[in-house]
Protein backbone atom coordinates (compact mmCIF):
# COMPACT_ATOMS: atom_id res chain seq x y z
CA UNK A 1 0.00 0.00 0.00
CA UNK A 2 1.28 3.45 -0.90
CA UNK A 3 0.80 6.41 1.43
CA UNK A 4 1.50 10.07 0.75
CA UNK A 5 2.33 12.18 3.80
CA UNK A 6 1.46 15.61 2.43
CA UNK A 7 1.90 17.68 5.62
CA UNK A 8 4.45 17.32 8.39
CA UNK A 9 3.85 14.58 10.96
CA UNK A 10 6.32 13.26 13.53
CA UNK A 11 9.11 10.87 12.60
CA UNK A 12 7.56 8.34 14.98
CA UNK A 13 4.41 8.28 12.86
CA UNK A 14 6.37 7.79 9.67
CA UNK A 15 8.47 5.02 11.26
CA UNK A 16 5.29 3.26 12.31
CA UNK A 17 3.94 3.31 8.76
CA UNK A 18 7.20 1.94 7.39
CA UNK A 19 7.57 -0.71 10.09
CA UNK A 20 4.15 -2.01 9.11
CA UNK A 21 5.34 -2.51 5.54
CA UNK A 22 3.75 0.54 3.95
CA UNK A 23 5.46 2.43 1.13
CA UNK A 24 5.65 5.99 2.38
CA UNK A 25 6.38 9.14 0.40
CA UNK A 26 6.85 12.21 2.56
CA UNK A 27 6.37 15.25 0.39
CA UNK A 28 5.16 18.29 2.26
CA UNK A 29 6.17 20.84 -0.37
CA UNK A 30 3.90 19.83 -3.23
CA UNK A 31 1.99 22.61 -4.96
CA UNK A 32 -1.72 21.99 -5.48
CA UNK A 33 -1.08 21.13 -9.15
CA UNK A 34 1.68 18.69 -8.24
CA UNK A 35 -0.50 17.07 -5.57
CA UNK A 36 -3.36 16.57 -8.03
CA UNK A 37 -0.94 15.11 -10.56
CA UNK A 38 0.47 12.44 -8.19
CA UNK A 39 -2.45 11.59 -5.91
CA UNK A 40 -3.78 8.95 -8.34
CA UNK A 41 -0.87 6.70 -7.32
CA UNK A 42 -1.77 6.53 -3.63
CA UNK A 43 -3.98 4.36 -1.44
CA UNK A 44 -3.93 6.84 1.45
CA UNK A 45 -2.98 10.42 2.21
CA UNK A 46 -2.09 12.00 5.54
CA UNK A 47 -2.73 15.75 5.94
CA UNK A 48 -3.08 18.40 8.62
CA UNK A 49 -5.25 21.50 8.20
CA UNK A 50 -3.84 23.07 5.04
CA UNK A 51 -4.53 20.52 2.27
CA UNK A 52 -8.02 20.86 0.83
CA UNK A 53 -9.54 17.44 0.29
CA UNK A 54 -12.42 18.37 -1.97
CA UNK A 55 -14.28 17.26 -5.10
CA UNK A 56 -11.43 18.33 -7.40
CA UNK A 57 -9.04 16.26 -5.27
CA UNK A 58 -11.29 13.16 -5.15
CA UNK A 59 -11.70 13.19 -8.94
CA UNK A 60 -7.95 12.71 -9.29
CA UNK A 61 -7.51 10.34 -6.32
CA UNK A 62 -8.73 7.26 -8.17
CA UNK A 63 -7.05 4.67 -5.89
CA UNK A 64 -7.60 6.50 -2.61
CA UNK A 65 -9.10 4.47 0.22
CA UNK A 66 -8.17 6.46 3.33
CA UNK A 67 -7.64 10.09 4.34
CA UNK A 68 -5.73 10.45 7.61
CA UNK A 69 -6.21 13.82 9.31
CA UNK A 70 -3.30 14.30 11.68
CA UNK A 71 -5.24 16.41 14.13
CA UNK A 72 -8.75 17.20 15.18
CA UNK A 73 -10.73 19.50 12.86
CA UNK A 74 -11.94 18.01 9.58
CA UNK A 75 -13.08 21.32 8.10
CA UNK A 76 -10.57 20.97 5.25
CA UNK A 77 -12.08 17.64 4.22
CA UNK A 78 -15.26 17.17 2.18
CA UNK A 79 -16.76 14.38 4.28
CA UNK A 80 -19.76 13.83 2.02
CA UNK A 81 -17.50 13.40 -0.99
CA UNK A 82 -15.50 10.79 0.91
CA UNK A 83 -18.60 8.88 2.02
CA UNK A 84 -19.98 8.90 -1.54
CA UNK A 85 -16.82 7.19 -2.76
CA UNK A 86 -16.39 4.81 0.19
CA UNK A 87 -13.22 6.63 1.30
CA UNK A 88 -12.59 6.36 5.04
CA UNK A 89 -11.60 9.54 6.88
CA UNK A 90 -9.80 9.10 10.20
CA UNK A 91 -8.65 11.80 12.63
CA UNK A 92 -7.02 12.08 16.06
CA UNK A 93 -9.48 14.03 18.21
CA UNK A 94 -7.78 13.39 21.57
CA UNK A 95 -4.11 13.59 20.65
CA UNK A 96 -3.44 17.33 20.73
CA UNK A 97 -6.12 18.76 23.01
CA UNK A 98 -3.81 19.43 25.96
CA UNK A 99 -1.41 21.36 23.74
CA UNK A 100 -4.27 23.39 22.26
CA UNK A 101 -5.59 24.20 25.75
CA UNK A 102 -2.12 25.17 27.00
CA UNK A 103 -1.53 27.39 23.96
CA UNK A 104 -4.85 29.09 24.67
CA UNK A 105 -3.72 29.89 28.21
CA UNK A 106 -0.39 31.10 26.80
CA UNK A 107 -2.11 33.47 24.39
CA UNK A 108 -4.50 34.70 27.04
CA UNK A 109 -1.78 35.56 29.53
CA UNK A 110 0.69 36.83 26.91
CA UNK A 111 -1.90 39.18 25.45
CA UNK A 112 -3.26 40.54 28.72
CA UNK A 113 0.28 41.07 30.09
CA UNK A 114 1.80 42.36 26.81
CA UNK A 115 4.61 39.82 26.99
CA UNK A 116 5.47 39.64 23.25
CA UNK A 117 5.24 43.43 22.93
CA UNK A 118 7.58 43.90 25.92
CA UNK A 119 10.07 41.45 24.46
CA UNK A 120 9.90 43.14 21.04
CA UNK A 121 10.71 46.52 22.64
CA UNK A 122 13.61 45.09 24.58
CA UNK A 123 14.80 43.54 21.32
CA UNK A 124 15.08 47.11 20.07
CA UNK A 125 16.99 47.90 23.30
CA UNK A 126 14.08 49.90 24.79
CA UNK A 127 13.44 49.33 28.52
CA UNK A 128 9.74 50.27 28.68
CA UNK A 129 8.08 49.83 32.08
CA UNK A 130 5.43 52.51 31.77
CA UNK A 131 3.35 51.62 28.71
CA UNK A 132 2.76 47.92 29.13
CA UNK A 133 0.47 47.63 32.12
CA UNK A 134 -1.64 44.47 32.02
CA UNK A 135 -4.53 43.03 34.01
CA UNK A 136 -4.88 40.13 36.45
CA UNK A 137 -7.01 37.07 35.87
CA UNK A 138 -8.04 36.63 39.52
CA UNK A 139 -11.79 37.16 40.06
CA UNK A 140 -12.36 38.01 36.39
CA UNK A 141 -15.00 36.22 34.35
CA UNK A 142 -13.93 34.16 31.37
CA UNK A 143 -16.57 33.14 28.85
CA UNK A 144 -15.79 29.91 27.04
CA UNK A 145 -17.64 29.34 23.79
CA UNK A 146 -17.66 25.59 23.26
CA UNK A 147 -17.20 23.31 26.27
CA UNK A 148 -15.96 20.24 24.38
CA UNK A 149 -12.61 18.50 24.78
CA UNK A 150 -10.44 21.62 24.56
CA UNK A 151 -12.89 24.08 26.13
CA UNK A 152 -13.22 21.93 29.23
CA UNK A 153 -9.43 21.64 29.63
CA UNK A 154 -9.21 25.42 29.35
CA UNK A 155 -11.96 25.78 31.98
CA UNK A 156 -10.10 23.58 34.47
CA UNK A 157 -6.87 25.49 33.98
CA UNK A 158 -8.43 28.94 34.25
CA UNK A 159 -10.26 27.99 37.43
CA UNK A 160 -6.83 27.39 38.95
CA UNK A 161 -6.15 31.10 38.33
CA UNK A 162 -9.20 32.01 40.41
CA UNK A 163 -11.33 32.98 37.44
CA UNK A 164 -15.09 32.75 37.36
CA UNK A 165 -15.76 30.45 34.40
CA UNK A 166 -18.97 30.64 32.37
CA UNK A 167 -19.63 28.90 29.06
CA UNK A 168 -22.05 28.73 26.18
CA UNK A 169 -22.50 25.44 24.37
CA UNK A 170 -25.96 24.30 23.31
CA UNK A 171 -24.67 20.80 22.48
CA UNK A 172 -23.27 19.98 25.91
CA UNK A 173 -25.28 18.40 28.74
CA UNK A 174 -25.96 20.16 32.03
CA UNK A 175 -24.07 17.33 33.71
CA UNK A 176 -20.87 18.29 31.87
CA UNK A 177 -21.22 21.93 32.95
CA UNK A 178 -21.63 20.66 36.49
CA UNK A 179 -18.68 18.28 36.19
CA UNK A 180 -16.35 21.16 35.30
CA UNK A 181 -17.93 23.60 37.75
CA UNK A 182 -18.78 25.95 34.91
CA UNK A 183 -21.82 28.21 34.88
CA UNK A 184 -24.02 27.59 31.87
CA UNK A 185 -25.09 30.53 29.70
CA UNK A 186 -28.26 29.93 27.74
CA UNK A 187 -27.20 32.17 24.90
CA UNK A 188 -24.15 33.91 23.53
CA UNK A 189 -25.46 37.37 24.34
CA UNK A 190 -25.56 36.58 28.06
CA UNK A 191 -21.95 35.39 27.91
CA UNK A 192 -20.84 38.45 25.92
CA UNK A 193 -22.41 40.79 28.47
CA UNK A 194 -20.66 39.22 31.45
CA UNK A 195 -17.24 38.13 30.22
CA UNK A 196 -13.98 40.01 30.81
CA UNK A 197 -12.23 37.41 28.65
CA UNK A 198 -13.70 35.32 25.84
CA UNK A 199 -12.12 32.23 24.33
CA UNK A 200 -13.65 30.15 21.53
CA UNK A 201 -13.36 26.36 21.25
CA UNK A 202 -15.84 25.23 18.63
CA UNK A 203 -15.23 23.37 15.39
CA UNK A 204 -15.46 25.36 12.18
CA UNK A 205 -18.96 24.90 10.77
CA UNK A 206 -21.49 27.08 8.96
CA UNK A 207 -23.07 27.72 12.35
CA UNK A 208 -19.88 28.79 14.13
CA UNK A 209 -18.21 30.90 11.43
CA UNK A 210 -18.56 34.54 12.46
CA UNK A 211 -20.50 33.58 15.57
CA UNK A 212 -18.70 36.37 17.41
CA UNK A 213 -19.28 39.32 15.13
CA UNK A 214 -20.46 42.89 15.09
CA UNK A 215 -23.70 42.21 17.01
CA UNK A 216 -21.89 40.26 19.70
CA UNK A 217 -19.19 42.91 20.17
CA UNK A 218 -21.93 45.53 20.45
CA UNK A 219 -23.14 43.93 23.71
CA UNK A 220 -19.68 42.98 25.01
CA UNK A 221 -18.09 44.62 28.03
CA UNK A 222 -15.89 47.52 27.04
CA UNK A 223 -12.30 46.32 27.42
CA UNK A 224 -13.07 42.64 26.82
CA UNK A 225 -10.08 40.48 25.87
CA UNK A 226 -10.49 37.70 23.32
CA UNK A 227 -8.63 34.55 22.34
CA UNK A 228 -9.10 32.38 19.25
CA UNK A 229 -7.12 29.17 19.23
CA UNK A 230 -9.81 27.24 17.32
CA UNK A 231 -10.36 28.27 13.70
CA UNK A 232 -9.92 31.56 11.85
CA UNK A 233 -13.20 33.39 11.40
CA UNK A 234 -15.12 32.00 14.38
CA UNK A 235 -14.40 35.46 15.75
CA UNK A 236 -15.20 37.52 12.64
CA UNK A 237 -11.93 39.22 11.74
CA UNK A 238 -13.41 42.42 10.36
CA UNK A 239 -15.71 42.80 13.34
CA UNK A 240 -12.71 42.23 15.60
CA UNK A 241 -10.75 44.94 13.79
CA UNK A 242 -13.61 47.39 14.29
CA UNK A 243 -14.02 46.41 17.93
CA UNK A 244 -10.28 46.97 18.48
CA UNK A 245 -10.48 50.40 16.83
CA UNK A 246 -13.49 51.31 18.97
CA UNK A 247 -11.60 50.04 22.06
CA UNK A 248 -14.36 47.57 22.86
CA UNK A 249 -11.67 44.88 22.68
CA UNK A 250 -8.60 45.66 24.80
CA UNK A 251 -6.45 42.81 23.50
CA UNK A 252 -6.58 39.69 21.38
CA UNK A 253 -4.55 36.51 21.28
CA UNK A 254 -4.97 34.70 17.99
CA UNK A 255 -3.56 31.40 16.73
CA UNK A 256 -5.70 30.93 13.65
CA UNK A 257 -6.61 33.17 10.74
CA UNK A 258 -8.94 33.07 7.77
CA UNK A 259 -7.08 32.03 4.60
CA UNK A 260 -4.09 30.40 6.30
CA UNK A 261 -1.23 30.71 5.77
CA UNK A 262 -1.94 34.43 6.12
CA UNK A 263 1.15 36.40 7.16
CA UNK A 264 -0.34 39.69 5.94
CA UNK A 265 -3.50 39.81 8.07
CA UNK A 266 -4.50 43.41 8.92
CA UNK A 267 -4.80 42.23 12.54
CA UNK A 268 -0.98 42.20 12.62
CA UNK A 269 -1.07 46.01 12.51
CA UNK A 270 -2.56 46.28 16.00
CA UNK A 271 -0.09 46.58 18.85
CA UNK A 272 -2.59 44.97 21.24
CA UNK A 273 -3.06 41.84 19.11
CA UNK A 274 -0.64 38.95 19.32
CA UNK A 275 -0.71 36.26 16.66
CA UNK A 276 0.93 32.86 16.34
CA UNK A 277 0.87 30.86 13.09
CA UNK A 278 -1.51 28.00 14.07
CA UNK A 279 0.83 26.56 16.68
CA UNK A 280 -1.84 25.20 19.05
CA UNK A 281 -0.92 21.58 18.39
CA UNK A 282 2.78 22.13 17.84
CA UNK A 283 4.40 20.48 20.79
CA UNK A 284 6.69 17.47 20.86
CA UNK A 285 4.12 15.51 22.83
CA UNK A 286 1.08 16.38 20.71
CA UNK A 287 2.87 15.75 17.43
CA UNK A 288 4.19 12.39 18.62
CA UNK A 289 0.69 11.43 19.80
CA UNK A 290 -0.92 12.65 16.60
CA UNK A 291 1.68 11.05 14.30
CA UNK A 292 1.54 7.64 15.96
CA UNK A 293 -2.26 7.67 16.25
CA UNK A 294 -2.94 8.73 12.68
CA UNK A 295 -0.40 6.20 11.38
CA UNK A 296 -2.07 3.39 13.32
CA UNK A 297 -5.53 4.46 12.15
CA UNK A 298 -4.51 4.66 8.50
CA UNK A 299 -2.88 1.20 8.70
CA UNK A 300 -5.99 -0.28 10.34
CA UNK A 301 -8.33 1.33 7.83
CA UNK A 302 -6.25 0.10 4.88
CA UNK A 303 -6.34 -3.43 6.35
CA UNK A 304 -10.09 -3.27 6.83
CA UNK A 305 -9.81 -3.40 10.62
CA UNK A 306 -11.90 -1.44 13.14
CA UNK A 307 -10.80 2.21 13.46
CA UNK A 308 -11.88 4.19 16.53
CA UNK A 309 -11.97 7.63 14.91
CA UNK A 310 -13.38 6.86 11.45
C1 LIG B 1 -6.38 20.45 14.83
O2 LIG B 1 -7.45 20.59 14.23
O3 LIG B 1 -6.09 19.39 15.36
C4 LIG B 1 -5.45 21.59 14.95
O5 LIG B 1 -5.87 22.69 14.28
C6 LIG B 1 -4.03 21.28 14.70
C7 LIG B 1 -3.62 20.93 13.32
O8 LIG B 1 -4.27 21.26 12.36
O9 LIG B 1 -2.61 20.29 13.18
Q: Which letter does DSSP use for residue 235 in this model?
A: B
With a 6 A CB cut-off, is 290 part of the ligand 1 pocket? no
Catalytic residue among 201, 237, 278, 297: 278
Catalytic residue among 15, 183, 189, 260: 260
**pLDDT at 310 (0 to 100):** 83
> CA gyration radius for the chain?
21
Rounded to whole angstroms, what are the CA distances from 258 to 38, 189, 263? Answer: 28, 24, 11
The mean of the pLDDT values for the chain is 97
Rounded to whole angstroms, what are the CA distances from 257 to 111, 150, 225? Answer: 17, 18, 17
Active site residue 231: yes
The per-residue pLDDT for range 202-235, each reduced to its tens digit, is 999 999 999 999 999 999 999 999 999 999 999 9
With a 6 A CB cut-off, is 49 part of the ligand 1 pocket? yes
Q: How confident is the model at residue 308 (pLDDT cuts 50, 70, 90)?
A: confident
Which residue of 151, 200, 256, 278 sits with most ligand 1 atoms within 8 Å of its CB, as the best mutation to test the pocket?
A: 278
With a 6 A CB cut-off, is 76 part of the ligand 1 pocket? no
Interface confidence, given as ipTM, is 0.95
Average pLDDT over residues 236-264: 97
The per-residue pLDDT for range 119-177, each reduced to its tens digit, is 999 999 999 999 999 999 999 999 999 999 999 999 999 999 999 999 999 999 999 99
Q: How confident is the model at residue 309 (pLDDT cuts 50, 70, 90)?
A: confident
pTM: 0.95
- What's the half-sphere exposure (Cβ side, CA atoms, 13 Å) at 96? 30
Catalytic residue among 231, 237, 241, 297: 231
The closest-lying atom of ligand 1 relative to the alpha carbon of residue 92 is 3
Amino acid sequence: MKILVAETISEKGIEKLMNEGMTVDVNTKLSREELLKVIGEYDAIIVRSVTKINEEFYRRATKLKVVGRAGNGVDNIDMEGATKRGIIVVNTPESNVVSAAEHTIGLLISSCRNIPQAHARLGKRVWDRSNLKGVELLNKTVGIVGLGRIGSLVATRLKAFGMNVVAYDPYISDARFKKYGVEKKENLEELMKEADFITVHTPKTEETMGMIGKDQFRVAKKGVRVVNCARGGIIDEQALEEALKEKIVASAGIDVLVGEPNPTSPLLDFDNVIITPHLGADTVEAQDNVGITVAQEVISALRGEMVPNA
